[in-house]
Amino acid sequence: MGQDQTPFFLVGCVRSGTTLLRDLLRQHDRLECPEETHFFRWADPFGTDRYRRMYKKSDLMRRHREMDGVDNFDFSYIINNSQNRWQMSGGYGLAYLKAQGNPEGRWFDKTPQNVYGLLLIAAAYPDAKYVHIHRHPLNVVASLLEGAVMPPHSLNGAINYWTEAIGILQQFRKVADDRLIELRYEDLTLAPLDTLIGLLEFLDEDSALLSAELSNVHPEQNKYIEKLDDSQVQKVLECTKKEREIYGYGDTP
């Protein structure tokens, strides 16, 4: 296996298993992933006041940097001396690897909302690979309405989280060629080791360096049965019909 240092990007709709997949990949000796960076999410040009404000003023971004072990002095140096998103994200990735005691490792980014900036990522990292994990929309919407991790969303907003992400990825597939792999959350939870081995092969990483602890991986629980009433279920199914057919999702997970 080659020692590819090019970062890869884990994207998709929120509440689709991106965090679970990130945590499993972090158990590989070479792979490190910071907390969600949102570096490519925002439409404001790099270097503008609105863009900088998101990273210098946001309590969430400060908490993420604390969790990553990158102090505010180092981050200020990185953002103040970067000309574009590529320099900032790359500089942050290297600082994170150093903070994790793995400077020769390979960093990757897990920010689901970076799906909105896929073309920016592709321009900054023309050789990067992408991992899209998707999940049946009934369980995604149920999770977003519940608001256990994110603030509760409206039904319409929750549906569009899923359909917009899927729509963007469908268009991106046309230009990504063999640099995009798509995984089902349901497959990851049913056969996590096999799924991870296949993914590591796609990423040109040695699966022998993975010491995966899988005790926290469990099959889909279909919480939508308790969280959504019949009218909500029908609306989700109607609004996602076209996108579900692309991935072979029926009326039930």
pLDDT one-digit tens code per residue, 158-210: 999 999 999 999 999 999 989 999 999 999 999 999 999 999 999 999 999 99
Q: Does the pLDDT of residue 148 top 90, yes or no? A: no
pLDDT one-digit tens code per residue, 94-117: 999 999 999 999 999 999 999 999
Q: Does the pLDDT of residue 31 top 80, yes or no? A: yes
Which pLDDT score, from 0 to 100, does residue 136 have?
98
Q: Does the pLDDT of residue 89 top 50, yes or no? A: yes
- Report residue 23's pLDDT band, with 50, 70 and 90 as the boundaries: very high
Q: Phi and psi at residue 182, in whole multiples of 5°?
A: -120, 130
> Which class is domain 1-30+108-253?
alpha beta
Residue by residue, DSSP assigns 210-246 as B----TT------THHHH--HHHHHHHHHHTHHHHHH
Q: Does the pLDDT of residue 149 top 80, yes or no? A: no
The domain ranges of the chain are: 1-30+108-253, 34-107
CA distances 116 to 47, 96, 122, 160, Å, are: 19, 24, 12, 13
Which pLDDT score, from 0 to 100, does residue 2 have?
53
Q: Does the pLDDT of residue 132 top 80, yes or no? A: yes
Average per-residue pLDDT for the chain:
94
Measured distance CA(143)–CA(152) in Å, rounded: 9
Which pLDDT score, from 0 to 100, does residue 212 have?
84
Q: Does the pLDDT of residue 1 top 50, yes or no? A: no
Residue in 220, 8, 191 with CA at minimum distance from that of residue 93: 8
Q: Does the pLDDT of residue 33 top 70, yes or no? A: yes
- Report residue 55's pLDDT band, with 50, 70 and 90 as the boundaries: confident
Q: Does the pLDDT of residue 139 top 90, yes or no? A: yes
